[in-house]
């Protein structure tokens, strides 16, 4: 399962503290699985020799590491994880990239299925090399919207509420799991049309969206048996302890004495409660 938007933001915040200002001693790549733009591993790793990381920026689910060489290290996460390790730590299976710093410690990209991508590109070429970073959809984490601006956004994109939160057109896709949690918290059904919301319902949806994403980051992501998320320090997230409906079909809803329901919607399971309208 891919790394969701809130968890990429958590990764960015941690790495901004951990690697900003660090100078690269050497870089290594295990294979070509996450290097589709290169002819060989050396062509990639040589671009990182002796450079200093001067920041960490997120564009949707991609992390950008500006370098003092006027280049940018790009990490498209996919289902991969970025990890901060001591040099002596045993490498996890699927470790595709290892950056060793002069002050000690490493940054590793662990991606057993090679669904991500890493590259170093000149900063002036970043948008032409990765045009998907020009995505006009609003980032609900990075862009502070008022509820009025959120209402205006809904007016431009009539869709079912789950589509609104996951199709990536008006808003960046927050992931189906977190969309179910937002909709339960706001008391709105997944198949309700966004154009049918009252002013009060728009306010509730906006508040639930902001608070849910904030809490995912606060509780450091969601680790489930079929989705073993860990942060950059290898620690599992605990937001699973705060999930209200996702994955809990058959259990009693926290809002009623009725069981939590699930149904297939657009090909994926959706979890909800009969109190949602």
DSSP per position, 64-101? EEEBTTSEEEEEE-TT-EEEEE-TTSPPPTTEEEEEEE
Q: What is the pLDDT of residue 144?
A: 83
The C-alpha atoms of residue 102 and residue 54 are separated, in whole angstroms, by 15
Q: What is the pLDDT of residue 1?
A: 76
**Cβ count near 135 (within 10 Å):** 14
Domain limits, CATH 1.10.8.50, in the chain:
147-272
The whole-model pTM stands at 0.95
Buried b (16+ CB within 10 A) or exposed e, 163-196: bbbbeebbbbbbbbbbbbbbbbbbebbbbbebee
Rg (CA), the chain: 20
| Residue pLDDT, tens place only, 132-188 | 999 999 999 998 889 999 999 998 899 999 999 999 999 999 999 999 999 999 999
Q: At what angle do helices 199-218 and 176-186 cross, to 10 degrees?
A: 130
User: What CATH architecture applies to the domain 5-129?
Assistant: Alpha-Beta Barrel (3.20)
Residue ranges of the chain assigned to CATH 3.20.190.10: 5-129
pLDDT digits (tens, 9 = 90+) for 256-269: 989 999 999 999 99
CATH class, domain 147-272, is mainly alpha
> Are the beta carbons of 135 and 60 closer than 8 angstroms?
yes
Distance CA 208, CA 198 (A): 15
Within 10 Å of residue 230's Cβ, how many Cβ atoms?
17
As beta bridge partners, residue 151 has none
Instruction: Tell me the C-alpha distance between 236 and 47, whole Å.
Output: 32
Angle at which helix 199-218 crosses helix 5-19, to 10 degrees, equals 40
* Alpha-carbon distances of 206 from 84, 148, 171, 188, 213, rounded to whole Å: 34, 9, 12, 12, 11
pLDDT tens string 92-103: 999 999 999 999
């Amino acid at each position: 399962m891919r790394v969701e938007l809130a968890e990429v933001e958590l990764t960015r915040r941690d790495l901004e503290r951990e690697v900003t200002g660090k100078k690269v001693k050497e870089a290594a790549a295990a294979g070509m699985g996450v290097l589709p733009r290169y002819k060989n591993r050396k062509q990639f790793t040589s671009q990182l020799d002796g450079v200093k990381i001067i920041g960490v920026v997120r564009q949707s689910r991609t992390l950008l590491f500006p370098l003092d060489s006027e280049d940018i290290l790009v990490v498209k996460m996919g289902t991969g994880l970025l990890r901060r390790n001591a040099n002596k730590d045993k490498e996890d299976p699927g470790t595709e990239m290892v950056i060793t710093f002069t002050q000690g410690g490493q940054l590793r990209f662990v991606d057993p299925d090679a669904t991500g991508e890493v590259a170093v590109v000149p900063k002036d070429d970043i948008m032409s090399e990765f045009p998907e970073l020009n995505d006009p959809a609003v980032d609900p984490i990075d862009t502070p919207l008022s509820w009025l601006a959120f209402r205006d956004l809904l007016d431009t994109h009539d869709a079912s509420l789950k589509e609104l939160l996951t199709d990536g057109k008006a808003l960046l896709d927050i992931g189906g799991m977190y969309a179910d949690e937002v909709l339960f918290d706001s008391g709105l059904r997944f198949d309700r049309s966004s154009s049918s919301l009252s002013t009060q319902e728009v306010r509730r949806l906006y508040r639930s969206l902001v608070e849910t994403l904030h809490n995912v980051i606060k509780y450091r992501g969601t680790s489930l048996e079929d989705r073993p998320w860990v942060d950059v320090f290898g620690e599992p997230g605990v937001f699973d302890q705060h999930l209200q409906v996702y994955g809990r079909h058959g259990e009693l809803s926290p809002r009623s004495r009725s069981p939590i329901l699930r149904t297939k919607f657009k090909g994926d399971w959706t979890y909800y409660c009969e109190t949602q309208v």
